Chains A and B, each alone.
Chain A
Amino acid sequence: MSAVGIDAPAPSVKRMSETQETLHFALRNRKLVFGASVTLAMLLFAIIGPFFAHHPPLEYGGNLSSPPTTKDGYWFGTTLLGQDVYSQFVTGLRLAFLVGAIGGGIAAAIGMVVGFTAGYRGGAVDEVLNMLTNVVLVIPTFALLLVIAAYLPTRSIVTEAVFIGITSWPWAARAIRAQTFSLVARDFVDMARLSGRSSWRIIFQEIAPNMSSYLFMMFILLFGGAILIAATLDFIGLGPSNTISLGMMMQLSVQNAALQLHLWWWFVPTGLAIMAIVGSLYVMNVGLDEVFNPKLREM
């Protein structure tokens, strides 16, 4: 996803004053503060929202297609068949964060293992891993997920997230590999090698900390990407079979002619929530980039 662009800050050696300096710029960066607050607000809503739902998300029994009302706790109205939209919405919101965390986490882990190994070892290992990365990068992952999900008899949110994770790591691996390359040539890595430490200890004690900000930003992008992919999969009818997600709400509203019947409360909040989460993650990412990379700071 070069379009969103995380660009590496120049790696530098950590000093005590730098932490203070980072914090100083972080709190004054409007993008970072805005992005982080919206994300946290949505997360908070996802965590406590379900406790205020008066009805189980899949239960029928409310008035049919009722607009938002304070009566009986149908704050977001009801679906064509009388299900509570608020309850579905908060359930979907929780699942979105879950998919983002699991999918983004797995993708980041694979990307780090492949990227660090390729960049640190170089040579034949690098060639093979690079080939693997390129192959997975070229395969349109969404089409692949379609085929896999279509054949799974029962699907859970966790399997969906795992599959998203194991297909969306290549660009991250590529970026980490390039970063690792530039760090491996530095003197402090040579010193660490001379001390006789194992490769993985050098990677995690010397190399990774020097690009920690970069790794964090990469995870944010993978997190947001996983949420978008999951919503698209769910919309196409390949979502988890035993629950409801934001993408499935969109699918059901389109299928049940919510657009023609003007039941806007059914489909407007779903996409708005995804847009708010993913958009604020992206904005937060740019803010972080500016904090860590002085060249980008606004003058």
Chain B
Amino acid sequence: MLRYFIRKLFVYGLTFVVAVTIDWAIPHLMPGNPVLTLVGRIQVQDPKVAQQLYDHYMRAFNLDLPLWKQYGYFWISLFHGDLGTSILEFPTSVTSIIVHAIPYTLGLLIPAILLSWYAGNKVGALAARRKVLDNSVLPASYALTATPYMWLAILLVFVFGITLSLFPVGFAYSPTAVRGFTWSFGVDVLHHWFLPFLSLFLVSFGGWAIGMRNMIIYELESDYAHYLEALGAPQRLVRKYAFRNAMLPQITGLALVLGAIIAGALVTEIVFSYPGLGYQIYRAITNEDYFVIQGIFLFIIVGVLIANFVVDIVYVIVDPRTRIGMQGGRS
């Protein structure tokens, strides 16, 4: 088991190094002088300001140093938590922008991931090999999982926000609300949170329901299930065992779809003007604020690595085979 974790940690460490290297290399690989392009694109009228910006970037990228030194400095500033400065909100550091945005994104993502996983698995397991349920749940799940996240968000805003006026259509709380730990502010925040959450929840729910349904059918066709049936075990018991075995790939799947659901959260936030990472990255892209884009990229990588590690630990707890040294066949 220790070998299993060391292997995993090695892959994650390597991934982190590769990601940081890519993050550093992309601006260097682009044709031409990236700093000139950057300053040119910001379209500053005043040549003095442009010169200042140019100097700032030259220093920030350390472009006057040899390449290996530039790379070294990139790592050093990274470990000091220095991801650069935003152009759009000039003196604000990228780190502080991210720190302010992260609670909103996590507040959407974590409940959406966990609840959709739970509900999807339950419903998928119920639907398997049951004609009526299967014929309704399955097509709906396929439609949901094929829906682009932002389109569902757009539809929800249009129907429930604008046409029916049941929910607010932007931001994390009302502009007039008084911030604080009060009952009314909490309700206001929940009211703003619900639609973006629902949108994320629904799309990922579809995928989990389909996955679980298919897995359960496989399990019900396996020898141990037939054997149990032959012994006269009640259907409920057979299904219970099938569910437990079908769970394992679904846990691994959690790590696999993480990237897709994060992408979903980013675009959902854009539709709802919800002030998380997605909204920040959209602002950064439309305003060519490159340090923010690169910083958020690194931040997402770290988040995904941590989440992957958590999934690994959960897997070891859930699957006894990994504990007695069989390593679960994954590496």
> A interface vs B, CB < 8 Å?
1-5, 7, 130-131, 134-135, 137-144, 146-148, 150-153, 171, 224, 228-229, 231-232, 235-238, 247, 250, 253-254, 259-260, 262, 264, 267-268, 270-272, 274-279, 281-283, 286, 295-296
Contact = CB atoms under 8 A, between A and B. Distances in A.
Given A250-B150, A279-B146, A138 B267 contact: no
Contacts of A138: 11-12, 15, 255, 304-305, 308
B320 interface: no
Interface stretch (B86-94, B104-112, B257-265): B257-265
A140 B258 CA distance: 8
Contacts of B262: 140, 142-143
B153 to A, nearest CB: 9
Identify the 3 closest CB pairs spanning chains A and B, nearest first. A271-B151, A3-B207, A279-B146
B26 interface: yes
Contacts of B297: 143-144, 146-147
Given A7-B214, A139-B19, A150-B285, A275 B256 contact: no
B147 interface: yes
Given A2-B211, A275-B151, A260 B162 contact: yes
A225 B282 CA distance: 22
Secondary structure at the A interface, as helix, strand, loop or mixed, is: helix
B22 A232 contact: no
B64 interface: no
Nearest to A246: B148
Contacts of B210: 3-5, 282
B146 A282 contact: yes
Secondary structure at the B interface, as helix, strand, loop or mixed, is: helix
Nearest to A268: B155
Given A144-B22, A253-B154, 9 more contacts: A1-B256, A1-B257, A2-B257, A135-B14, A139-B18, A140-B300, A141-B259, A224-B146, A259-B157
A235 B207 contact: no
A2 to B, nearest CB: 4
Contacts of A142: 259-260, 262-263, 266
Interface stretch (B52-60, B181-189, B215-223): B215-223
A236 B266 contact: yes
Contacts of A150: 285, 288, 290, 293
Given A138-B12, A236-B282, A259 B146 contact: no
Given A147-B23, A250-B154, A232 B258 contact: no
Given A2-B253, A237-B286, A254-B271, A231 B142 contact: no
Interface of B: 11-12, 14-15, 18-19, 22-23, 26-27, 30, 34, 37, 139, 142-143, 145-152, 154-155, 157-158, 161-163, 169, 204, 207-208, 210-211, 214-215, 217-218, 221, 249-250, 252-253, 255-260, 262-264, 266-267, 270-271, 281-282, 285-286, 288, 290, 293-294, 296-297, 300-301, 304-305, 308, 331
A279 to B, nearest CB: 3
A237 B148 CA distance: 15
Nearest to A235: B150
A3 B253 contact: yes
A151 B154 contact: no
A1 B206 CA distance: 12
B270 to A, nearest CB: 7
Contacts of B217: 296
Nearest to A279: B146
Contacts of B270: 235-236, 254
A135 B150 contact: no
Given A237-B282, A275-B143, A232 B154 contact: no
Contacts of A296: 217-218, 221
Given A5-B211, A138-B304, A274 B146 contact: yes
A235 B267 contact: yes
Contacts of A7: 214, 218
B12 to A, nearest CB: 7
A254 B286 CA distance: 14
B290 A3 contact: no
Contact of B145 (A153, A236, A282): A282
Contacts of A135: 11, 14-15, 18
Contacts of A253: 154
Nearest to B154: A267
B304 to A, nearest CB: 5
B256 A140 contact: no
A139 B15 contact: yes
Nearest to B208: A3
A150 B285 CA distance: 7
15 contacts: A2-B249, A3-B207, A5-B214, A7-B218, A134-B11, A139-B15, A144-B19, A151-B27, A232-B267, A236-B282, A259-B157, A259-B169, A276-B146, A281-B146, A282-B145
- Which residue, A147, A238, A254, has most C-beta atoms of chain B within 10 A? A147
Contact of B256 (A2, A131, A143): A2
Contact of B151 (A2, A229, A270): A270
Contacts of B204: 3
